């Protein structure tokens, strides 16, 4: 490659890796395996080393991926929370051992720990009391999720032991047991919610939930792996972990001290298959130098400690035959190819289908019908095809071709420039899109209409009772009672919930409409800038792109949605049904600047508004919501059953408690 091609490849790799970091750390929706991610990182690192003129301090090879979010207060880690270097081979493990012994100039003892696949946490204790719980963040700063961490039963709030230092930090991995994960996804499927891809994503997503009660309900556990501080009880990593176990911290009994690298390899081999019997997901083994003095001597790179490395197990694969490829249409019209396979046993389950993601993936695999394919289950719900056994290909086999028309309605598919997916533009008349849009509309974070699940929506659609979201408001109980598995009580509850949904706030209605590319955050932004649906409908693309967070793609999608006469008719019918299509109604007394500059924590149960509504009211009146109490907290909006830990913290810091009635007087809603 010439210099121009090298620069282009480096920039492309950086963009791609940053996108995968965002999907992994923020969205908890990874689309590639750890192995594939590491290949990208290694390629980028090799190019940057070979062409130092293109090196950059902002490169993802020099930074830890970040999970920082705006919903939590952030603090600096006292000790940077770096990532580990990865290896997939014993040869590279030997290189690590030789390098380590050469730098220390003496024999090295290692500690081997199973690499549990969850969400990393760093918990600070002062005088035996938990004071802070930070996520990894960007390695330098993390989100303080202390209220959520306090709900995890095996994390001690207080440690009473004479050997405990005045200040110390425990690091661990917050995990969701496999059986809890399975039950959670089964429940989410019943409620029509998106499924978590794997236990790691579920644990990470739960940890960033703003409601500690939700966290408590999900039965998370924490496995601790590191004790840090200035006055530690022992001069070895293993000794300190065993002492932490005496203090009441959960430490895996699988941890072993290995006298040399050969014992490390034996440990890795032992656990490669036995780990499947554990209640938690593991994806490798972490190898650490045991001596604290040697750790300090070895030091760190910009991104990783030199005294530790992670050996990653390769995802389990199976070889099976590709029978056919089907194409599924989602609610937004995206068309996803799915491989139908000869059933094969893989990672504890029988696999019959595998994801192919998009047309590019089919092309890269050079996939033919009846190929023998390698299937990998790297943590995703639906496994994926990662390779083809070309030696088994039939002579006259036909290549798999991506379809040109929608498999449901026959409309020619569209692929926009810069997008990976094909989609069906016939969103008003394509059955899976219509049903998917109705399911989205009734969702908990949208109109929150209870009693209507995927099966009921499908039944109502097949009987011709609904064809769009506005039809819901024309339903009556008499139409529902004769349906399968439906009685008078169920029918009455559904109709009542539909009627109640007209009170849902305007920004949630915008989200519920299912406009392509308009998620929860964008809907809130639009509602604050365009206070009524009429204002939004009359806006042009240039008006929209002037709004923060609204780019050309979102703007074009909004204008396109409101340029369709059938959508306009749906809006008219929603208006006639009484659905809130402006931010004005009911807000005359809850909008202003009475909370300007104030940071408020909400705790407890309320009678006049829900917690989410109070958060919205605080923002509308110039205030800022916070999930944790600190010296910057102005006051606590305290409802019934306020948590005792928050009450104690408020008393300790002298932060006033404001009742619901007092708060409503402050904002003028009394």
Which tokens belong to 183?
């039950």
pLDDT bin (cut points 50, 70, 90) of residue 579 is very high
Would you state the pLDDT for residue 589?
Answer: 42
Would you state the pLDDT for residue 472?
Answer: 96
Tokens 């919903």 appear where? Answer: 71
Mean of pLDDT over the chain: 86
Most confident of 48-57, 344-353, 568-577: 568-577
Q: With 80 as the cut, is the pLDDT of residue 399 above it?
A: yes
Would you state the pLDDT for residue 347?
Answer: 66
Q: With 70 as the cut, is the pLDDT of residue 554 above it?
A: yes
pLDDT bin (cut points 50, 70, 90) of residue 348 is low
Tens digits of residue pLDDT in 614-640: 887 888 788 888 877 888 889 999 887
Q: Say which residues have a Cβ less than 8 Å from residue 668's Cβ, sequence separation at least 6.
A: 589, 590, 592, 594
Would you state the pLDDT for residue 586?
Answer: 37
How far is residue 69's CA from residue 574's CA, in Å, rounded to a whole number? 34
pLDDT bin (cut points 50, 70, 90) of residue 109 is very high
Query: Which stretches does DSSP call E strand in 218-334?
Result: 221-228, 256-258, 282-289, 308-312, 317-329
The answer to whether residues 487 and 504 touch, using CB atoms and an 8 Å cutoff, is: no
3-class DSSP state of 612: helix
Tens digits of residue pLDDT in 161-188: 888 999 999 999 999 998 999 888 888 7
198-201, long-range: CB within 8 Å, 24+ apart, which pairs? 198/117, 198/281, 198/379, 198/380, 198/381, 199/117, 199/118, 199/175, 199/280, 199/281, 200/28, 200/117, 200/118, 200/119, 200/176, 200/281, 200/379, 201/28, 201/29, 201/30
- The residue ranking higher by pLDDT, 609 or 498, is 498
Q: With 70 as the cut, is the pLDDT of residue 382 above it?
A: no
Q: Average pLDDT in the 207-232 region?
A: 89
Tens digits of residue pLDDT in 298-333: 998 877 899 999 998 877 788 999 999 999 998 778
Least confident of 58-67, 353-362, 474-483: 58-67
Tens digits of residue pLDDT in 418-465: 778 899 988 878 999 899 889 999 988 899 998 888 888 988 998 999
Q: Average pLDDT in the 26-53 region?
A: 73
Tokens 């059933």 appear where? Answer: 343
Q: With 80 as the cut, is the pLDDT of residue 189 above it?
A: no
Q: With 50 as the cut, is the pLDDT of residue 34 above it?
A: yes
Q: With 70 as the cut, is the pLDDT of residue 69 above it?
A: no
Least confident of 130-139, 252-261, 558-567, 615-624: 615-624
Q: Average pLDDT in the 572-584 region?
A: 90
Q: With 60 as the cut, is the pLDDT of residue 588 above it?
A: no
Q: Say which residues have a Cβ less than 8 Å from residue 247's Cβ, sequence separation at least 6.
A: 156, 159, 161, 163, 164
Distance of CA 287 to the CA centre of its chain: 28
Would you state the pLDDT for residue 587?
Answer: 41
Would you state the pLDDT for residue 368?
Answer: 94
Number of neighbouring beta carbons within 10 Å of residue 76: 11
pLDDT bin (cut points 50, 70, 90) of residue 70 is low
How far is residue 520's CA from residue 498's CA, in Å, rounded to a whole number? 21
Domains and their CATH numbers in the chain: 3-54 (1.10.287.610), 74-312 (3.30.470.30), 317-392 (2.40.50.140), 431-576 (1.10.150.20), 599-667 (3.40.50.10190)
Would you state the pLDDT for residue 412?
Answer: 95
* Residues belonging to the active site: 115
Task: Determine how β-strand 308-312 pairs with β-strand 282-289.
Answer: antiparallel
Least confident of 62-76, 236-250, 258-272: 62-76
How far is residue 382's CA from residue 338's CA, in Å, rounded to a whole number? 9
Q: With 70 as the cut, is the pLDDT of residue 487 above it?
A: yes
Q: With 80 as the cut, is the pLDDT of residue 197 above it?
A: no
Tens digits of residue pLDDT in 595-605: 888 889 998 87
Task: Determine how β-strand 317-329 pairs with β-strand 372-376.
Answer: antiparallel
Q: Burial level of 102, CB count in 10 A (0-12/13-18/19+)?
A: exposed
Q: Average pLDDT in the 28-55 region?
A: 74
Q: With 70 as the cut, is the pLDDT of residue 66 above it?
A: no
Angle at 332 between CA 328 and CA 334, to 5 degrees: 40
* pTM across the whole model: 0.52
How far is residue 101's CA from residue 294's CA, in Å, rounded to a whole number? 10
pLDDT bin (cut points 50, 70, 90) of residue 68 is low
Phi, psi (deg, nearest 5) at residue 344: -145, 140
Closest CA to 148 of 637, 652, 645: 645
């Amino acid at each position: 490659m010439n210099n121009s091609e090298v620069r282009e490849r480096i920039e492309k790799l950086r963009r791609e890796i940053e996108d995968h970091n965002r999907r992994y750390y923020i969205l908890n929706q990874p689309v590639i395996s750890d192995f594939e991610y590491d290949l990208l990182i290694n390629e980028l690192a090799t190019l940057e080393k070979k062409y130092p003129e293109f090196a950059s301090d902002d490169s993802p090879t020099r930074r830890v991926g970040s999970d920082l979010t705006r919903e939590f207060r952030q603090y600096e880690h006292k000790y940077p929370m770096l990532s580990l270097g990865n290896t997939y081979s014993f040869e590279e493990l030997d290189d690590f051992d030789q390098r380590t012994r050469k730098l220390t100039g003496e024999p090295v003892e290692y500690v081997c720990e199973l690499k549990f696949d969850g969400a990393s946490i760093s918990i600070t204790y002062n005088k035996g009391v938990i004071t802070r719980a930070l996520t990894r963040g960007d390695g330098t700063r993390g989100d303080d999720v202390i209220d959520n961490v306090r709900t995890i039963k095996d994390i001690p709030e207080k440690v009473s032991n004479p050997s405990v230092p005045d200040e110390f930090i425990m690091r661990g991995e917050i995990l969701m047991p496999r059986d809890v994960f399975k039950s959670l996804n089964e429940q989410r499927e019943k409620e029509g919610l998106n499924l978590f891809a794997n236990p790691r994503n579920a644990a990470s997503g739960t940890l960033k939930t703003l409601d500690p009660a939700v966290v408590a309900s999900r039965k998370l556990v924490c496995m601790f792996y590191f004790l840090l501080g200035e006055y530690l009880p022992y001069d070895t990593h293993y000794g300190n972990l065993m002492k932490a176990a005496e203090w009441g911290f959960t430490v895996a009994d699988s941890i072993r001290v290995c006298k040399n690298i050969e014992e490390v390899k034996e440990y890795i081999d032992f656990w490669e298959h036995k780990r499947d019997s554990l209640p938690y997901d593991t994806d490798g083994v972490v190898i650490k130098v045991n001596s604290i003095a040697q750790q300090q001597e070895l030091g760190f790179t910009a991104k990783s400690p030199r005294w530790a490395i992670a050996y990653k197990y390769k995802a389990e694969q199976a070889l099976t035959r590709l029978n056919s490829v089907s194409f599924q249409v989602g609610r937004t019209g995206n068309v996803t190819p799915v491989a139908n396979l000869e059933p094969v046993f893989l990672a504890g389950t029988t696999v019959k289908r595998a994801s192919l993601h998009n047309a590019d993936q089919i092309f890269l695999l050079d996939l033919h019908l009846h190929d023998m394919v390698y299937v990998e289950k790297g943590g995703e719900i639906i496994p994926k095809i990662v390779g083809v056994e070309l030696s088994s290909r039939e002579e006259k086999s036909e290549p798999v071709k991506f379809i040109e028309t929608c498999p449901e309605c026959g409309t020619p598919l569209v692929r926009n420039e810069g997008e990976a997916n094909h989609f069906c533009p016939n969103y008003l008349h394509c059955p899976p899109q219509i049903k998917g849009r109705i399911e989205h509309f009734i969702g908990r974070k949208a109109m929150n209409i209870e009693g209507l699940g995927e099966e009921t929506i499908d039944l109502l659609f097949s009987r011709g009772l609904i064809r769009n979201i506005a039809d819901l408001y024309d339903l009556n109980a008499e139409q529902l009672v004769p349906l399968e598995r439906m009685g008078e009580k169920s029918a009455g509850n559904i109709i009542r919930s539909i009627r109640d949904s007209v009170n849902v706030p305007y920004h949630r209605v915008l989200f519920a409409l299912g406009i392509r590319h308009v998620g929860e955050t964008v809907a809130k932004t639009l509602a604050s800038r365009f206070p009524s649906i009429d204002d939004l409908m009359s806006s042009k693309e240039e008006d929209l792109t002037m709004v923060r967070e609204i780019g050309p793609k979102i703007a074009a999608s909004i204008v396109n949605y409101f340029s369709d006469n059938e959508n306009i008719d749906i809006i008219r019918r929603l208006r006639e049904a009484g659905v809130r299509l402006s931010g004005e109604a009911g807000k005359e007394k809850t909008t202003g600047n009475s909370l300007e500059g104030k940071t408020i924590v909400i705790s407890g149960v309320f009678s006049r508004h829900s917690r989410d509504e109070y958060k919205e009211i605080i923002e509308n009146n110039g205030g800022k919501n916070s999930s944790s109490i600190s010296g910057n907290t102005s006051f606590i909006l305290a409802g019934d059953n306020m948590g005792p830990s928050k009450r104690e913290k408020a008393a300790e810091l002298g932060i006033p408690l404001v009742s619901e009635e007092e708060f409503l007087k402050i904002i003028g809603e009394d």
